[in-house]
Structure 1
Amino acid sequence: MVTTSAGIVDRFSLQLTFVLFLSVVVVTLFMALLTAPQRDEISEFYLGNRTMSPLRNGLAMCGDYLSAATLLGSTGLVALTGYDGLMYLGGTVVAWMMVLLLIAEPLRRAGRFTLGDTLALRLSRLHRPARLALAVCTLTIATLYLVAQLVGSIALLTQFTGAPSATTRTLCVIVIGTIVIVYAAIGGMPGATVIQIIKAVMLVAGVTVTAVMVLHRFDWNPNALLAAAANHSGTGTAFLEPGLRYGASATSKLDFFSLQLAIVLGLSALPHVLMRLLAPRKVDVLRSSVVWAVGLVGLVCLAAGILGLGATAVVGRESIANTDHKGDAAVLLLANALGGGILTALLSCLAFVTLLAVAAGLTLAAATSLAHDLYGEVIRKGRASEREELAVARLSAVVVGVLGMLLALVSWGTNTATLAFLAFAIAASAILPTIVYTLFWRRFTGQGALLSLWGGLFCSVLLVLISPVVSATPNSLYPDADFAWFPLQNPGIVSIPAGFLLGWLGTVLSPSPRQEEASPYEEFEVRMLVGAKE
């Protein structure tokens, strides 16, 4: 099995994809500029128009979360591993249920612009060091995820042109990165929301229509689809049973559980998702928005599962693996078989737009944390004017975007899934324990927040550095070296409990009875349960 060595689609598809993508970019850039904040108010730049309907806000949430990995990577995973790939998709839907039931409403009532504001309201001491730690975690998560999107744009380009030259790679990353910077730095949250809604509508419509075409090809008989997929998988009925990827050994089963744990818990703490939870003005709008998001994400994941099975049934597992050993080409090969160059171009354009939208949300989240938490509250200690903070936010968006582009070019060839999974693990190990303890534990202190944030971050990164991701296997970054003392590729099963444990330990070791360390939890609890007037 080899990586794509030649483009899988014809020249017509490439030209049509370029025209469609350029059209979408021009329209969304115009709308982003049109809806961009007109006043020097940080609330408008950070949270945008807070009067959106639940459907529009739900579409924006869906657009903020679903990346090209869902369209290409998840579909390819189903096409190559069958049952195991479908189980992976299921974790995404469960993750949104966690957001709805545990985090969304209390955080919205107690929050302002960022999670750092919630920490400051909750903690009487050490809230500025906690903001600093939170900004570092946010920047790390957003950068990892942003690099994954930009490297993914090169991988997607590879499906058209074959292995691109260094100049082509650089040009692709610079073009995508520059567009993302414009969305985030000029449009702010209103501009990012526009592209998220457009992208979500396109994604839901695109995958649904293609899934309908797959089902129609098999006479709307799921059993026929499953049977054809098993027959063309080269593995028979084993394709529809656990074990092709994650069940071969006890270690792989643990690795899959660790991955799903990070996805289910990490979604609740991803910075761009948290920002979107703070955007609605009313809690009932937020609740309805998240319900819409759960439904839309579930629909896309269901369609992605059908597309993956359809790719195996129509194209064949061996052909997919020979074209791209990671399976990213599966949905494009399926589109070419079902609808020729036109459908291939439509889904390719959709993948590029998806990359843009997610990258814009990540850049905005990182810029917001740097400007508000780091500059406004840590460096300037709350004395920065709104005009000053807004200027720093725009500059931060440029810095984050440029940093993402540089790292994407340096890390070309890195497995984008690994970067994304590490981002989820850090979110679940560092930020989630801090959120949960802040919202629901009366005794929680600033020392506990610091230990949870820094400890969860370093534990996640350290475990990946000493895992097979970096050394000891043919697919590692350094295959000839061997310092993989941690056997799993996904650290969540260890780093997430460690983050919660460190938060608990930091709190119980704090000088509890002293008045200056006690948190004003009663006041905070009232706000969390009832909300504050705005």
Structure 2
Amino acid sequence: MVHHAASVTDRATLQLTLILFITVVVVTLFTVLLTAPQRDEISEFYLGDRDMSPLRNGLAMCGDYLSAATLLGSTGIVALTGYDGLLYLGGTVVAWMMALLMIAEPLRNSGKFTLGDTLALRLPQGQRSVRLALALCTLVVCLLYLVAQLVGSVALLAQFIGAPSGTARAMCVVVIGTIVVVYAAIGGMPGATVIQVVKAVMLVAGVGVTAVMVLHHFNWNIDKLLSTAAANSALGDRYLGPGLRYGGTTTNKLDFFSLQLAIVLGLAALPHIMMRLLAPRSTRVLRGSVVWAVGLIGFVCLMAGVLGLGATAIVGREQIADLDPRGDAAVLLLGYELGGGVLVALLSSLAFITLLGVAGGLTLAAASSIAHDLYGEVIRKGKATQTEEVAVARLSAAAIGVMGMMLALLSWGTSTATLAFLAFAIAASAILPTIVYSLFWRGFTARGALLSLYGGLACSVLLVVFSPIISSTPNSVYPHSDFAWFPLQNPGIVSIPAGFLLGWVGSVLSKRQEPGVFEKFEVRALVGADER
């Protein structure tokens, strides 16, 4: 549970934040209505404008990935744990390099609208059962990540008004959730893209300007920034050395490795990121887009590191920890010191917009999977009309939004980072082995895919249920119970190898697929079908 000693700022700042937030929401909603698909064509609803430039596509990818956890959570971790926090930020950039080098091109070349289409082409014999398993995994990953965004919106509200009442929490979740549903259901991919591009530009500019203010405060002397941060952390040189968050015990070190493994491998398998990889019409544009995305995300992570160190140097580590033990308030406290209420209002509305953008992308990815894979291909066996499928996608977006809101209200008090990293772990344990084997292993079969998807999902969830996240520590969901036999917070180190192993075992034990299927698929994955 989050306990706030007091709120970060005064009423005037809250009012300014609300005005800025409402302005951006009204403008983006209006833009979404203007750019929404005019015809009920599934390619337009799922993929949007496929002729965008690499820069705009890269901005959209950057917007899809960077959530409020990056702006608030990551800066907070750096502010509280110094070196370990910076190390943690590095995983994100490595993850994008992995997506660029391994997955992006063959996935775009062989896919159509969703990952299910790639798997259907690769595993034609068991395609309906594989699509069903994939739709379930996609739904779980997207819902977890969506709930993390909605719980994050309440945590953000709490920075202003102290611990919110039940009514304030419910209103915050319902308002944010409803806006997200409108974005996804009406705008489809074109609407989501507009929001992501706007958000990414605002985020890059906002983080960059604030970081420049921090560096200017220390006369552009990085040594001075680091030494002041160490002095104000009450920990001295330990703050700039490894081990504050993930040191000491072997369990802590394994936990850090497990978390980084889930981030690096899970990113390429997140459904809303994969949809973005399928959108560009040509491979050349895709390459350019991912390079832009890597550069922009690397820049934001670097600036987040500067902001975290700046918060400790200017505000002081103990003051940040007193107000919010998780450190989410660090960047807002820093903003208040540097630019008063106006900068806090700008950063807060930026965090809210960031939440909205990511939540919209997740809702759309889950709705697309349900409408296209589950309804279009499994239930209607490919006979659904385009109008019918788009209508189901819109209804699914509304249903997923409502489920997300209900789960967010039920799981209030759970750390947003925990929910987000569990989504990463499931994506890396269930979806990633299926993608990697499909793209690169001739012997992979439908049974292997099913074992990998269901097994990876079950293994991740089971290990989390019996981990310290749920019971046995003061910060657990059930602090007074104790049934945690799995010592790590993140299951990645066990569940990811388990997902790969299950995929291999399932494939080895099942009969070979028809000859020639993999060869045809391989040609498509390498050469691509540029006109889809």
TM-score range (shorter-chain normalised) is over 0.9
Task: Return structure 1 stretches of 4+ with deviation > 2 angstroms.
Answer: 516-519
Q: Following TM superposition, by how much is the alpha carbon of 1:518 offset from its aligned partner in structure 2, in angstroms?
A: 4.9
Q: Following TM superposition, by how much is the alpha carbon of 1:481 offset from its aligned partner in structure 2, in angstroms?
A: 1.2
Q: Which residue of 1 aligns with 2:373?
A: 373
Secondary structure at the residue paired with 1:301?
A: helix
Please state if 1:520 is matched with 2:509: no
Please state if 1:431 is matched with 2:428: no
CA contact (8 A) 2:453 2:499 kept: yes
Deviation per CA, 1:143-176: give whole Å up to 9, x if none: 0000000000000000001111111111111110
Deviation per CA, 1:426-447: give whole Å up to 9, x if none: 0000000000000000111000
Q: Which residue of 2 aligns with 1:292?
A: 292
Q: Which residue of 2 aligns with 1:391?
A: 391
Q: Following TM superposition, by how much is the alpha carbon of 1:517 offset from its aligned partner in structure 2, in angstroms?
A: 4.9
Deviation per CA, 1:313-362: give whole Å up to 9, x if none: 00000000000000000000000000000000000000000000000000
Q: How does 1:98-137 map to 2 (within 5 A)?
A: 98-137=98-137
Q: Following TM superposition, by how much is the alpha carbon of 1:56 offset from its aligned partner in structure 2, in angstroms?
A: 0.4
Separation in structure 2 between the aligned mates of residue 518 and residue 297 of structure 1, nearest angstrom:
42
Alignment-mate amino acid for residue 348 of structure 2: S
Q: Following TM superposition, by how much is the alpha carbon of 1:197 offset from its aligned partner in structure 2, in angstroms?
A: 0.4
Separation in structure 2 between the aligned mates of residue 128 and residue 501 of structure 1, nearest angstrom:
23
Q: Which residue of 1 aligns with 2:451?
A: 451
Unpaired runs of 5+ residues, structure 2, are none
Please state if 1:341 is matched with 2:338: no
Separation in structure 2 between the aligned mates of residue 532 and residue 319 of structure 1, nearest angstrom:
56
Q: How does 1:38-57 map to 2 (within 5 A)?
A: 38-57=38-57
Separation in structure 2 between the aligned mates of residue 445 and residue 91 of structure 1, nearest angstrom:
32
Secondary structure at the residue paired with 2:124?
A: coil
Q: Which residue of 1 aligns with 2:403?
A: 403
Q: Which residue of 1 aligns with 2:147?
A: 147
Q: Following TM superposition, by how much is the alpha carbon of 1:5 offset from its aligned partner in structure 2, in angstroms?
A: 3.6
Separation in structure 1 between the aligned mates of residue 386 and residue 515 of structure 2, nearest angstrom:
31
Please state if 1:529 is matched with 2:526: yes
Q: How does 1:195-344 map to 2 (within 5 A)?
A: 195-344=195-344
Q: 1:518 to 1:482 in 2, by over 3 A?
A: farther
Alignment-mate amino acid for residue 509 of structure 2: L
More deviation in 436-445 or 1-10? 1-10
CA contact (8 A) 1:434 1:453 kept: yes
Alignment-mate amino acid for residue 327 of structure 1: G
Separation in structure 1 between the aligned mates of residue 336 and residue 92 of structure 2, nearest angstrom:
27
Secondary structure at the residue paired with 1:464?
A: helix
Separation in structure 2 between the aligned mates of residue 519 and residue 354 of structure 1, nearest angstrom:
46
Q: Following TM superposition, by how much is the alpha carbon of 1:519 offset from its aligned partner in structure 2, in angstroms?
A: 6.4
Q: Following TM superposition, by how much is the alpha carbon of 1:478 offset from its aligned partner in structure 2, in angstroms?
A: 1.1
Unpaired runs of 5+ residues, structure 1, are none
Separation in structure 2 between the aligned mates of residue 10 and residue 492 of structure 1, nearest angstrom:
41
Separation in structure 1 between the aligned mates of residue 107 and residue 124 of structure 2, nearest angstrom:
18
Separation in structure 1 between the aligned mates of residue 480 and residue 454 of structure 2, nearest angstrom:
31
Secondary structure at the residue paired with 1:125?
A: helix
Q: Following TM superposition, by how much is the alpha carbon of 1:124 offset from its aligned partner in structure 2, in angstroms?
A: 2.5
Separation in structure 1 between the aligned mates of residue 215 and residue 518 of structure 2, nearest angstrom:
54
Separation in structure 2 between the aligned mates of residue 399 and residue 173 of structure 1, nearest angstrom:
15
Secondary structure at the residue paired with 1:126?
A: helix
Separation in structure 2 between the aligned mates of residue 6 and residue 70 of structure 1, nearest angstrom:
23
CA contact (8 A) 1:473 1:479 kept: yes
CA contact (8 A) 1:180 1:359 kept: yes
CA contact (8 A) 2:5 2:322 kept: no
TM-score, normalised by the number of residues in structure 2 = 0.99
CA contact (8 A) 1:2 1:322 kept: no
Alignment-mate amino acid for residue 206 of structure 2: G
Secondary structure at the residue paired with 1:403?
A: helix
| Alpha-carbon RMSD | 1.0
Separation in structure 2 between the aligned mates of residue 189 and residue 178 of structure 1, nearest angstrom:
17
Q: How many residues align?
A: 531
Separation in structure 2 between the aligned mates of residue 312 and residue 332 of structure 1, nearest angstrom:
12
Q: Following TM superposition, by how much is the alpha carbon of 1:6 offset from its aligned partner in structure 2, in angstroms?
A: 2.5
Separation in structure 1 between the aligned mates of residue 183 and residue 2 of structure 2, nearest angstrom:
36
Q: Which residue of 2 aligns with 1:83?
A: 83
Identity rate of aligned residues, in percent? 75
